[in-house]
Amino acid sequence: MPTGWTIESAKSESTISKDKKTENNSTVNGSKPEMPEMERLEMFIPEAPKRKIDNLIVPTIVRERIETALNRILYHDVLYYEWNLKKIDPQGRRVAINMYGPPGTGKTFCAEAIAHYLDKKIIKVNYAEIESKYVGETPKNITAAFRKASETNAVLFFDEADSILGKRLTNVTQSADYGVNVSRSVMLLELDKFDGVVIFATNLASNYDGAFVRRILAHIEFELPDETCLVKLWQYLLPEEVPCAEDINSEWLAQESLGLAGGDILNVVKLAASQAVTRKGNERLVMQPDIRNAIAQVKNAKEKIGSTVAENPATTTTVVTERVLTADELPPDLQEPFQKAVSN
């Protein structure tokens, strides 16, 4: 037997055993080693908003509803102390706004604009950032997002909010279903005790659980822009530096793009410009056929690519009546925070 064979073999077996132990420890009951609290908080970064309320182009009724929601923040002291709304709403600090409507209608733009208007930073959260395959991690990520917003006085913005505020499940047959219900119950708790501004945005508002609907102050529908808005959108989204044919103007563009949203128009501009830029000399400019081709491409994609809820009945979910899980139903590591939240 070669010298050292027994030692090397022992090392190999020890290493394998250690690796297996680590692997087992990291996957027991679908959990993994606890993420440090500071590391979890660092998942959510406050950003300086880049959009301004003056640049928000929406129908008049939408702007009025946004301004009404902002008045609740700007005139808090008058409303709650002079007009005594604190009598019916003792806490009164949280302002939750839900923006819903077709894609590309300005919801994310508006969230940034509101943060800028309030002179606050914004923390953007989508479901992919907080969802975890490990048991108990998603609720902790939700809690961390709210905590970071509180500590930094930032506006908390949840995009694709239907994934977070969706209807809870009745037919719980596996741990993933249980985890969904726990996450949404924790979301209710965090929303109840939050003292700041939280904004939700979704294309699928019909998926919301009624318990969340009642906790949100303003539900603002973002509709497709009318012709007046389309004129302004083209003026904003088509840079002056882009060379265009003389027969292209904002009014003609608005007529051609009826039924499109702001995000669609942005794509039309880029497509039309990309088609025109390859031409030479005096023909190197955006022409009407370029615009029409780009609009046709965008409309065709909207009609034929993707699906709506109506086209996919499998997305329908059975719902439960409003009920927050009790402490005993939560994982052990969430029971204490749950009790504290209820006592507050």
The answer to whether the beta carbons of residues 145 and 112 sit under 8 Å apart is no
Q: Do 214 and 244 fall into the same domain?
A: no
pLDDT at 336: 61
The tens digit of pLDDT for each residue in 44-74 reads 999 999 999 999 999 889 999 999 999 999 9
Q: Do 101 and 147 fall into the same domain?
A: yes
Lowest-confidence region among 22-36, 223-237, 265-279: 22-36
The tens digit of pLDDT for each residue in 71-96 reads 999 999 999 999 999 999 887 778 99
Q: Do 73 and 192 fall into the same domain?
A: yes
Contacts of residue 115, defined as CB under 8 A and 6 or more positions apart, other chains included, come to 49, 121, 122, 154, 155, 157, 197
pLDDT at 170: 56
Q: Show which of 175, 204, 223 is a domain's final residue.
A: 223
Instruction: Check pLDDT > 60 for residue 334.
Output: no
CATH number of the domain to which 246 belongs: 1.10.8.60
Q: Do 191 and 251 fall into the same domain?
A: no
For residues 253-258, give the mean pLDDT: 97
Mean pLDDT score across all residues of the chain: 81
Q: Do 180 and 256 fall into the same domain?
A: no
Q: Do 59 and 120 fall into the same domain?
A: yes
> What is the pTM assigned to this prediction?
0.75
Q: Show which of 274, 289, 304 is a domain's final residue.
A: 304
The answer to whether the beta carbons of residues 121 and 226 sit under 8 Å apart is no
For residues 253-278, give the mean pLDDT: 96
Q: Show which of 223, 250, 280 is a domain's final residue.
A: 223
Q: Do 50 and 187 fall into the same domain?
A: yes
The tens digit of pLDDT for each residue in 15-36 reads 444 444 444 444 444 445 566 7
Q: Computed over its alpha carbons, how large is the radius of gyration of the chain?
A: 26
The answer to whether the beta carbons of residues 58 and 222 sit under 8 Å apart is yes
Lowest-confidence region among 28-32, 171-175, 226-230: 28-32
Instruction: Check pLDDT > 80 for residue 191.
Output: yes
Q: Do 273 and 215 fall into the same domain?
A: no
Of 147, 201, 154, residue with least CA distance to 48: 154
The tens digit of pLDDT for each residue in 277-329 reads 999 999 999 999 999 999 999 999 988 886 544 334 333 333 343 444 455 55
Q: Do 250 and 212 fall into the same domain?
A: no
Q: Do 267 and 202 fall into the same domain?
A: no
CATH number of the domain to which 92 belongs: 3.40.50.300
Q: Do 112 and 211 fall into the same domain?
A: yes
pLDDT at 308: 46
- pLDDT class for 40, splitting at 50, 70, 90? confident
* Residue ranges making up the domain that contains 291: 227-304
For residues 106-117, give the mean pLDDT: 96
Q: Do 173 and 287 fall into the same domain?
A: no
Would you say residue 15 lies in a domain? Answer: no
Using the structure block, give the residue that is written with the tokens 């946004």.
66
For residues 319-342, give the mean pLDDT: 50
Instruction: Check pLDDT > 60 for residue 12.
Output: no
pLDDT at 310: 39
